[in-house]
Copies of this chain bind each other. A is one copy, B any other.
Amino acid sequence: MTLLERYKATRKRTEDICEPLETEDYVVQPVADVSPPKWHIGHTTWFFETFILKDNYTGYQEFNPDYNYVFNSYYETVGARVIRTDRGNLSRPTVSSIYQYRKYVDEAMTKLMECGCSKEVEELITLGLNHEEQHQELLYTDIKYILGNNPLFPAYSKNQVSTVQNIPGADHLISINEGIYEIGFNESGFCFDNELGRHKVYLEPLKIAKGLVTNGEYIEFINAGGYKNFTLWHAEGLDWVRNNKVESPLYWHSIDGQWHYFTFQGLQAVDVHGILNHISFYEASAFASWKKMRLPTEFEWEAAADQITWGSRWEWTESAYLPYPGFKKAPGAIGEYNGKFMVNQKVLRGASDVTSPGHSRKTYRNFFHPHLRWQYTGIRLAQ
C-alpha cells in the first residue's frame, strides 16, 4: 500500500466510525475526558494542516485561521486554544463545515503526496496517520460514553457485536524465567518516541496468566464485598470509590437484581463469560489483591507478550509511565507528543476491540490516569 493509499484508507475509516451518528451526537462533551466527535474530526485534520501543509505545501491557503484556536489540543508551541472542558460548549463550526475542512485538507494532502514528498515529510504523514488511529479509538470510546450516559441508552449500531468471549484456559499461568530482557522497539517501521531507547531490564521469575479476567470473575469480587474491603485498595483508590460511590465497572446497572451493561447495541444483560471491560487501575489492582495476585509490570508484559493472548483490552500494568533510558524529545511542537505526560499516569499494554487494525504492537505503550475507565481496559493477573 502506498502512503497515499494508506492516507485515504485511514481518513475514510475515521468517517466510517462516525457514520451511524446523528448530528447532535457530534457536539456534546459529557465529561472533560470525552471530546465531541466533531472535535476529533477537526483536530485530526488540523494536525495535517498545521504540521505538514503549512510548512511543506507551497502557497497553501489556511482553511480558516480561527480553526487553529478551536482544534489545537495541547500544543503550547502552536499557540492559544479552547480549554479542554469547553470543547462541548461550541456549536460552531458545524459538523458539515468541519467535513468541508476535512475535504479541503485531504485534497491538499493528496496533491502533496502525488507530487512526491521528502522522507522527513513522509515520516510526519505517517505520524499523522498513527495519530489519527489513536483518535479512531478515542472516537469509539467517546461515542460509547456519550450514548451510554444518555438516559435513553440509544444503540450506536445494531450490527456491531462488542462482547468478547474469553479464550479457553485464560487463567492458565505461564512461567517467565529470571534474567535480562531487551525492552523497547527494535524493528523497522513506525513506532512512537516513547517506545524508543531499547534497553535491558532484569526480571525476577514470574507467572503470568494466558488470558484476561471475565465479567463472571469480577461479579464474584463484587459479591464478596470487594468494593468495601479496604485492605485490598490503595488509599487513593479507596477515596475514589467512596467519593464516586463506585460499586461496579463503568456502564454497569443493576436492574431487578441482575447486572446489565451498556453496549453499542444498547443495554444488555452482562455476559459472565465475556472479558471484563471499563475498570480503573484502582479496581484492577484491588481485584488482583483479592485474588492474592498482582498486576504485571510493563516489562514483564513485554517479555511475555509472545506467549499470552492479547488484543481485546488494554491491560493496566503496575508500571508508571516514565521515559526509557535514552528517551529523546523531538524538537518543536512534535516533541510535545508524549514526553510531557510522563508523570502521574499508568502504562497500559496490549490493544482493544476498538483499536485500529495494525495500530498496536507488543512494544506499544498506552497511558492513562489510574482512575479512568472509559477506555476498553481489562485485567491480566501475575504473581
Contacts and interface: CB of A to CB of B under 8 A. Distances in A.
Given A23-B94, A24-B27, A24-B38, 10 more contacts: A23-B95, A66-B151, A69-B151, A70-B151, A76-B230, A90-B150, A92-B152, A180-B202, A200-B204, A235-B341
Interface string A143-167: 0001101111010000000000000
A27, A233, A238, A319: most-surrounded residue (chain B CB, <10 A) = A27
Given A28-B91, A89-B30, A234 B341 contact: yes
Nearest to A69: B151
Contacts of A23: 23-24, 94-95
A28 to B, nearest CB: 5
Contacts of A325: 204, 206
Contact of A322 (B199, B320, B340): B320
A323 interface: yes
A93 interface: yes
Contact of A25 (B91, B147, B149): B91
Interface in A63-119: 66, 69-70, 74, 76-77, 82, 86, 88-95
B88 A22 contact: no
Contacts of A199: 202, 204
Contacts of A152: 66, 70, 92-93
A231 interface: yes
A318 to B, nearest CB: 6
28 contacts: A22-B94, A23-B94, A23-B95, A24-B38, A24-B91, A25-B92, A27-B28, A28-B28, A28-B89, A28-B90, A66-B151, A70-B151, A74-B235, A76-B238, A90-B150, A91-B147, A93-B152, A180-B180, A180-B202, A201-B201, A234-B342, A234-B343, A236-B343, A281-B343, A285-B343, A318-B322, A319-B320, A344-B344
Nearest to A324: B204
Interface residues on A, range: 35 or more
Q: Chain A at the B interface: mostly helix, strand, loop or mixed?
A: mixed
A263 interface: no
Given A22-B92, A151-B82, A322-B319, A202 B204 contact: no
A89 B88 CA distance: 8
A29 interface: yes
A146 B24 contact: no
A3 to B, nearest CB: 30
A234 B202 contact: no
A20 interface: no
